Amino acid sequence: MRLLKVATCSLNQWAMDFDCNAKQIKESIAKAKEAGASIRLGPELEIPGYGCEDHFLELDTVNHSWECLKDLLLGDWTDGILCSFGMPVIKGSERYNCQVFCLNRKIVMIRPKMSLANDGNYRELRWFTAWKQRDQLEDFQLPFEISQALGQKSVPFGYGFMKFQDTAIAAEVCEELFTSNPPHSELALNGVEVIMNASGSHHQLRKLDYRVHALIGATDTRGGVYMYSNQQGCDGSRLYYDGCACVVVNGDVVAQGSQFSLKDVEVVVAQIDLDVVASLRGSLSSFQEQASCKTKVPSVDVPYSLCRPFNLKISLSLPLEIKYHSPEEEIAFGPGCWLWDYLRRSGASGFLLPLSGGADSSSVAAIVGCMCQLVVKEIANGDEQVKADAIRIGNYKDGQYPTDSREFAKRIFYTVFMGSENSSEMTKSRAKVLADEIGSWHLDVSIDVVVSAFLSLFQTLTGKRPQYKVDGGSSVENLSLQNIQARIRMVLAFMLASLLPWVHGKPGFYLVLGSSNVDEGLRGYLTKYDCSSADINPIGSISKQDLRAFLRWAAIHLGYPSLKDIEEAPPTAELEPQRSNYSQLDEVDMGMTYEELSVYGRLRKIFRCGPVSMFQNLCYRWGAKLTPSQVAEKVKYFFKYHSINRHKMTVLTPSYHAESYSPDDNRFDLRQFLYNARWPYQFKKIDELVSELDVKDVKDYAANDTMAATSHGVSGMGVAAAGSGNPKAGF
How confident is residue 700, by pLDDT bands cut at 50, 70 and 90?
Answer: low
Neighbouring residues of 393: CB distance < 8 A, sequence distance ≥ 6:
343, 344, 348, 349, 350, 411, 412
Asked if residue 713 is part of any domain, the answer here is: no
How confident is residue 525, by pLDDT bands cut at 50, 70 and 90?
Answer: confident
User: Quick check: 469 pLDDT over 50?
Assistant: yes
CB 628 within 8 A of CB 619: yes
Least Cα distance to 162 among 315, 314, 301, 45 occurs for 301
How confident is residue 252, by pLDDT bands cut at 50, 70 and 90?
Answer: very high
Residue 605 per-residue DSSP state: I
Q: Are residues 479 and 598 in the same domain?
A: no
Mean pLDDT of 190-213: 96
- Residue 157's DSSP bridge partners are 110, 138
Least Cα distance to 5 among 47, 33, 44, 43 occurs for 33
Q: Position 353: which residue type?
A: L
Share of the chain above pLDDT 70, in %: 95
Mean pLDDT of 9-31: 98
Q: How many CA atoms lie within 13 A of 454 on its CB side?
A: 14
- Active-site annotation holds for 356: yes
Q: At 170, which helix (H) or strand (E)?
A: strand 168-171
User: Quick check: 721 pLDDT over 60?
Assistant: no
What burial class does residue 312 get, using C-beta atoms within 10 Å of its C-beta: 0-12 exposed, 13-18 middle, 19+ buried? exposed
Task: Specify the pLDDT at position 726.
Answer: 33
CB 490 within 8 A of CB 450: no
Asked if residue 716 is part of any domain, the answer here is: no
Q: Are residues 565 and 595 in the same domain?
A: no
Rg of the chain taking only CA atoms, in angstroms: 30
- Active-site annotation holds for 44: yes
Distance of CA 27 to the CA centre of its chain: 26
Task: Specify the pLDDT at position 716.
Answer: 31
Q: Are residues 257 and 405 in the same domain?
A: no
Asked if residue 714 is part of any domain, the answer here is: no
pLDDT single digits (tens) 655-670: 999 988 888 777 788 8
Mean pLDDT of 336-364: 96
Residue 234 per-residue DSSP state: -
| Domain finish residue from 301, 324, 347 | 324
- Active-site annotation holds for 685: no
| Domain finish residue from 584, 609, 642 | 584
User: Quick check: 217 pLDDT over 50?
Assistant: yes
pLDDT single digits (tens) 613-654: 999 999 999 999 999 999 999 999 999 999 999 998 888 899
User: Distance (Å, rounded) from C-alpha 376 to C-alpha 383?
Assistant: 10
pLDDT single digits (tens) 100-122: 999 999 999 999 999 999 998 99
Task: Specify the pLDDT at position 400.
Answer: 96
How many residues can be counted in the chain?
A: 731
CB 614 within 8 A of CB 604: yes
Distance of CA 534 to the CA centre of its chain: 19
Q: How many CA atoms lie within 13 A of 422 on its CB side?
A: 22
- Active-site annotation holds for 113: yes
User: Distance (Å, rounded) from C-alpha 667 to C-alpha 471?
Assistant: 43
Catalytic residue from among 44, 330, 437, 576: 44
Q: Are residues 88 and 236 in the same domain?
A: yes
Neighbouring residues of 3: CB distance < 8 A, sequence distance ≥ 6:
271, 272, 273, 274, 307, 308, 309, 310, 311, 314, 316
How confident is residue 722, by pLDDT bands cut at 50, 70 and 90?
Answer: very low
Q: Are residues 285 and 368 in the same domain?
A: no
Mean pLDDT of 288-307: 95
Asked if residue 477 is part of any domain, the answer here is: yes
User: Quick check: 587 pLDDT over 90?
Assistant: no
CA-angle at 301, arms to 297 and 306, nearest 5°: 110
The b-or-e profile of 693-717 (16+ CB within 10 A means b, else e) is: bbeebeeebeeebeebeeeeeeeee
Asked if residue 280 is part of any domain, the answer here is: yes
Task: Specify the pLDDT at position 220.
Answer: 93
Q: Are residues 189 and 273 in the same domain?
A: yes
User: Quick check: 138 pLDDT over 50?
Assistant: yes
Task: Specify the pLDDT at position 663.
Answer: 81
User: Quick check: 711 pLDDT over 80?
Assistant: no
Asked if residue 729 is part of any domain, the answer here is: no
Q: Are residues 551 and 613 in the same domain?
A: no
Least Cα distance to 191 among 299, 62, 55 occurs for 299
How confident is residue 724, by pLDDT bands cut at 50, 70 and 90?
Answer: very low
Neighbouring residues of 522: CB distance < 8 A, sequence distance ≥ 6:
597, 600, 601, 604, 642, 661, 663
Mean pLDDT of 166-176: 96
How confident is residue 584, by pLDDT bands cut at 50, 70 and 90?
Answer: confident
The b-or-e profile of 607-622 (16+ CB within 10 A means b, else e) is: eebebbebbbbbbeeb
CA-angle at 121, arms to 119 and 123, nearest 5°: 60
Mean pLDDT of 561-579: 89
Q: Are residues 103 and 212 in the same domain?
A: yes
Mean pLDDT of 62-84: 98
Asked if residue 719 is part of any domain, the answer here is: no
Q: Are residues 497 and 523 in the same domain?
A: yes
Q: Are residues 530 and 603 in the same domain?
A: no
Catalytic residue from among 52, 174, 234, 619: 174
CB 464 within 8 A of CB 394: no
Computed over every residue of the chain, the mean pLDDT equals 92
Task: Specify the pLDDT at position 401.
Answer: 97
Task: Count up the domains in the chain and report the number.
Answer: 3
Asked if residue 710 is part of any domain, the answer here is: no
Highest mean pLDDT among 525-529, 572-576, 639-643: 639-643
| Domain finish residue from 584, 610, 634 | 584
CB 479 within 8 A of CB 524: no
Catalytic residue from among 5, 113, 410, 636: 113
Instruction: State the pTM of this model.
Output: 0.91
CATH of the domain at 279: 3.60.110.10
Q: Are residues 68 and 172 in the same domain?
A: yes
Render 251-314 in DSSP notation, one character per residue. Answer: TEEEEE--SS-S-SEEEEEEEEETHHHHHHHHH-HHHHHHHHTPPPPPEEE------B---TTS
User: Quick check: 699 pLDDT over 70?
Assistant: no
Mean pLDDT of 392-412: 96
How confident is residue 313, by pLDDT bands cut at 50, 70 and 90?
Answer: confident
CATH of the domain at 394: 3.40.50.620
Task: Specify the pLDDT at position 580.
Answer: 67
Q: Are residues 276 and 342 in the same domain?
A: no
Which structural domain, as residue segments, surrounds residue 225? 3-324
User: Quick check: 717 pLDDT over 70?
Assistant: no
User: Distance (Å, rounded) from C-alpha 68 to C-alpha 42?
Assistant: 14
Q: Position 543: which residue type?
A: S
Catalytic residue from among 356, 423, 532, 541: 356
Mean pLDDT of 55-78: 98
C-alpha distances (whole Å) from 702 to each of 34, 706, 711, 719 are 81, 6, 14, 11
User: Quick check: 713 pLDDT over 80?
Assistant: no
User: Quick check: 719 pLDDT over 70?
Assistant: no
